[in-house]
Amino acid sequence: MYLILGTQFNSYSQPFLILLSVPFAFIGVVLYLFVSGTPLSTTVIYSAVALAGIAVNDAIVLISFINEKRAEGIATSEAVVEAASTRIRPILLTSLTTIAGLLPTAIGVGGYSVVWSPMASTIMVGLVFSTISALFIIPLLYGAIYDRTRRIAQ
């Protein structure tokens, strides 16, 4: 994934920032497993792999918008603030629709499934954590990294 993102963004640091949402999603999964007492199973591991692909979407949307604004000549700090405030609605709506779609499966509407319910719950909780990281942590790190590289270049 890193190589594909690196090719897409022509950068080494931006794919790192995007992929940083995956560990935050996994933190959510581990907390969910601990709090709910759900055992680590093959289904949970499969859902964590699926979550890794889903979790990066919010960060990609945010980083792409920041890059567009920087290409227009806007300063990095202003681009980060504008991206975080402008893209919050699409990011939240994307995550909330995914969570809403998984909710009936997670709570067992139509019958609880030992296979599907933990999978849906794992993805839901991990997505909440990755969305929070995409909205707050990734913009902060983007600004910090690019301000530091600008100072080094000067």
Contact 82, 143 (CB under 8 A): no
pTM, rounded to two decimals: 0.84
The Cα-based distances of 72 to 17, 136, 148 in angstroms read: 21, 23, 21
For residue 93, the model assigns a pLDDT of: 94
What are 14-64's pLDDT values in tens digits? 898 889 889 999 999 999 999 999 899 999 999 999 999 898 998 999 999
Contact 58, 130 (CB under 8 A): yes
For residue 68, the model assigns a pLDDT of: 93
C-alpha closest to that of 21 among 149, 123, 132: 132
CB atoms within 10 A of CB 94: 16
Q: Distance between CA atoms of 94 and 96, rounded to whole angstroms?
A: 6
Question: Residue 147: pLDDT above 90?
Answer: no
All domains in the chain, ordered by first residue: 2-153 (1.20.1640.10)
Give the list of residues 6+ apart from residue 13 with CB closer than 8 angstroms, or none: 145, 149
Q: Distance between CA atoms of 7 and 150, rounded to whole angstroms?
A: 22
C-alpha closest to that of 23 among 126, 121, 119, 98: 126
Q: How confident is the model at residue 153 (pLDDT cuts 50, 70, 90)?
A: low
For residue 66, the model assigns a pLDDT of: 92
Question: Residue 149: pLDDT above 70?
Answer: no
Q: Which residues of 34-52 are buried (b: 16+ CB within 10 A; e: fewer)?
A: eeeebeeeebbeebbeebb
What are 81-135's pLDDT values in tens digits? 999 999 999 999 999 999 999 999 999 887 778 888 999 999 999 999 999 988 9
For residue 154, the model assigns a pLDDT of: 64
